[in-house]
Copies of this chain bind each other. A is one copy, B any other.
Amino acid sequence: MVSKTRKPKVVHKPAFTDGAEFSIATFQLLKQDGTLYKGAKAPDLEKDQALRIYRAMVYTRVLDERMLAAQRQGRLSFYMQCTGEEAAVIGSTAALDDADMIMAQYREQGALVYRGFTTDEFMNQMFGNEEDYGKGRQMPIHYGSSELNYMTISSPLATQIPQATGYAYGQKLAGEGHCTIVYFGEGAASEGDFHAALNMAAVHRVPVIFLCRNNGYAISTPAAEQFAADGVAPRAYGYKMDVIRVDGNDILAMFEATRQARRLAVEDNRPVLIEAMSYRLAAHSSSDDPSGYRSKDEEQIWRDKDPILRMKAWLQAADWWSDDDEKQLQENYRREVLETMKRAQKRPPPPLDSLVSDVYQEVTPELARQLDNLKAHIRKYPDAYPKTAEQAKGGA
């Protein structure tokens, strides 16, 4: 139906357009050398918060390096790095209220770091031990924290995007001024769930920020085989949603864009799409080897745009950070990660009963029966089930 408020323009010669002329500019503030672009204005960022952000970035990098190494050593089954995308993730999270909900894809450990997830908490999840909140049920890196308002990661891609729209709708009704940010890759944005989520958010005016990490690849598939358009941003036009494209390696631009997006979302109930342009510097996951599908040269271009070095240069220009601080920080983090890893690895697995709990709020009679049978079986063959043989003894 033709909108009633605006008289549609009419033409009498057929004109096709693919929208290419509406190309979306990229918002940047910070140069790689730590100085601002001409005409750029740094956001209000207190020293404390700036350092909180920076430390989270460095911690994330250290964690990623150490855990990949641990995976290579066979200590861990699987890992995924955020390397290269720390500013996109942490810059955006830092612009939110800590009570806002985060619904992430899987490469956003930086957001958790920023919110204060402890090394112990990371390790317990990755080693699926008895202290893992997720009770050892999901693969490494599927973190979650109700305390930190970070929804537990789910592997099926894009499912969290319409969920974020629904979550934010609930926040709007609750009227407490909170919003939801939802992270996803440019690959996941091809899923039908993405389309549903943006459309519903725009129609129902929901306080949600859609943050697309466009890192150039979905596993081996380059963005050019994912979509023909200039990135994901132009899709917002299709839903009449505010959109901004940001240099994802620019911590200041990410922070400022998200801060303003949050205001639109929370104060005006205008959902916003942010496309953070970056690059997945590491392999897709510890199971992947990118040498088969992209060049070292291409990687180098992006290594030269390292978001952490960029922020460090800015901090140093402001005299907020020294090389000594850096050395100290790195060392502390490395040590902390290694020591905590060792402790976490030694913790026992989750209890046998956790096999059947949380399927429903209460364990059903049928599940109780299945657990009993299992325990009896394990008692018969304790050697075959070394993780749980001891516990099964306790059984009926």
Could you tell me if B10 and A26 are in contact, using CB atoms closer than 8 angstroms? Answer: yes
Given known pairs A196-B190, A203-B227, A228-B240, the reply for A15 and B25 (CB within 8 Å) is yes
Q: CB distance B243 to A18 under 8 Å?
A: yes
- Asked whether B228 lies within 8 Å of A20 as measured between CB atoms, the reply is no
Partner of A16, one of B230, B232, B244: B244
Are B191 and A242 in touch, CB under 8 angstroms?
Answer: no
Do B203 and A226 touch (CB < 8 A)? Answer: yes
Docked complex Cα distance between A245 and B257 (Å): 33
Q: Looking at the complex, which one of B40, B195, B225 makes contact with A192 (CB distance below 8 Å)?
A: B195
Q: Does A216 contact B (CB under 8 A)?
A: yes
Query: Given the complex, which residues of B lie within 8 Å of A16, measured CB to CB?
Result: 242-244, 260-261, 264, 272
Residues in B neighbouring A217, C-beta threshold 8 A? 1
A14 within 8 Å of B by Cβ?
yes
Q: Considering the chains assembled together, what is the distance between the CA atoms of A256 and B15 in angstroms?
A: 11
- Across the interface, do B240 and A18 meet the contact criterion of CB distance under 8 Å? yes
Q: A25-B9, A192-B191 are in contact. Are A18 and B236 (CB under 8 A)?
A: yes
Convert A248-260 into 0s and 1s, putting 1 for each residue whose CB lies closer than 8 angstroms to a CB of B: 0000010011001
* A29 touches B (CB below 8 Å): yes
| CB of A160, distance to nearest CB on chain B (Å) | 15
A96 within 8 A of B: no
Is A295 located at the chain interface by the 8 A CB criterion?
A: no
- Output the least CB separation between A75 and chain B (Å): 33
| Nearest CB of B to A350, in Å | 36
Interface size class of A (residues with CB under 8 A): 35 or more
- Which residue of chain B is the closest to A225 with respect to CB atoms? B203
Residues of chain B within 8 A (CB-CB) of A279 are 1
Give which listed residue, B1, B10, B230, contacts A240 with CB less than 8 A: B230
Q: How far is the CB of A28 from chain B (nearest CB, A)?
A: 6
Cross-chain contact B11 with A240 (CB below 8 angstroms)? no
Whether B22 contacts A8 by the Cβ 8 Å rule is no
Q: Which of B19, B229, B241 contacts A18, CB < 8 Å?
A: B241
Which residues in A have some Cβ–Cβ distance to B below 8 Å? 1-3, 6, 8-20, 22-29, 37-41, 190-196, 199, 202-203, 214, 216-217, 222-232, 234-246, 253, 256-257, 260-261, 264, 272, 277, 279
27 A/B residue pairs, CB under 8 Å, sorted by A:
A1-B214, A6-B23, A8-B23, A9-B24, A12-B27, A12-B28, A14-B27, A14-B246, A14-B253, A14-B256, A16-B260, A16-B261, A16-B264, A17-B243, A18-B237, A19-B22, A22-B22, A190-B195, A192-B195, A192-B196, A203-B225, A203-B227, A229-B237, A229-B239, A234-B237, A234-B240, A235-B239
